[in-house]
């Protein structure tokens, strides 16, 4: 079985650890790149075949031929936000190294997990995944801190997940608007 050291980073640059399908319960859960049962769900992934199986690479940007023709049209006309940022993720890895990228991604994953665990009213998981992928770590941390503070000052109980979700979503949308990415993140 093929394995990767960093399965939450797709060989193609997808942020597997920030994807809603990674946090799905049941059989539709994605196991991450080369994770358990990955090849049953994604048997013909050309990036895995070339990058991992043939070249023994963790990600495509570690290849001398990156970006190759496999990336032609990869993010064109695709509504899946993770596809749209995968090449920029790979460029960050190429520029700063995979260890530094993984450290940053791990921080994002922890923040995302806090959002899902403490602020998800059952309808926000995809929104929080997008926020974790698109906003800066500072914006994510600040939004979580502001949401916690607002809950205290307004006397919102921890079991009122609908109110908590609305508060956090408002702060995340404010950050997205300020950064000019509101069209990608904003969901009514």
The per-residue pLDDT for range 87-129, each reduced to its tens digit, is 889 999 999 999 999 999 999 999 999 999 999 998 899 899 9
28-42, 60-74, 136-150: range with highest mean pLDDT: 136-150
Where residue 168 falls among pLDDT bands split at 50, 70, 90?
Answer: very high
Residue 165 confidence (pLDDT) above 90:
yes
Give the residue-averaged pLDDT of 41-68. Answer: 86
Three-state SS letters, the chain = CCCCCCCCCCCCCCCHHHCHHHHCCCCCCCCCCCCCCHHHHCCCCHHHHHHHHHCCCCCHHHCCCCCCHHHCCCCCCCCCHHHHHHHHHHHHHHHHCHHHHHHHHHHHHHHHHHHHHHHCCCCCHHHHHHHHHHCCHHHHHHHHHHHHHHHHHHCCCCCCHHHHHHHHHHHHHHHHHHHCCHHHHCCC
Q: Can you give the pLDDT at residue 73?
A: 73
Q: What is the pLDDT of residue 188?
A: 44
User: Which pLDDT belongs to residue 85?
Assistant: 83
Average pLDDT score over residue span 55-83: 80
Q: Give the mean pLDDT of 76-92.
A: 76
Q: What mean pLDDT do residues 48-73 have?
A: 87
Pair 35, 29: CB distance under 8 Å? no
């Amino acid at each position: 079985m093929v394995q990767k050291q960093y399965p939450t980073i797709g060989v193609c640059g997808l942020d597997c650890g920030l994807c809603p399908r990674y946090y799905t319960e049941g059989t539709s859960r994605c196991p991450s790149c080369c994770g358990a049962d990955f090849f049953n769900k994604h048997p013909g992934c050309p990036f895995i075949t070339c990058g991992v199986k043939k070249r023994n690479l963790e990600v495509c940007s570690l290849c001398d031929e990156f970006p190759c023709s496999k990336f032609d049209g990869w993010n064109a006309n695709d509504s899946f936000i993770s596809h749209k940022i995968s090449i920029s993720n790979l460029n960050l890895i190429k520029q700063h190294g995979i260890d530094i990228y993984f450290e940053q991604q791990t921080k994002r994953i922890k923040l995302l997990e806090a959002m899902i665990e403490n602020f998800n009213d059952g309808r926000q998981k995809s929104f929080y995944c997008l926020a974790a992928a698109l906003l800066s770590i500072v914006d994510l941390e600040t939004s979580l801190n502001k949401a916690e503070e607002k809950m205290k000052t307004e006397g919102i109980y921890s079991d009122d997940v609908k109110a908590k979700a609305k508060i956090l979503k408002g702060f995340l949308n404010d950050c997205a608007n300020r950064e000019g990415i509101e069209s990608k993140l904003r969901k009514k």
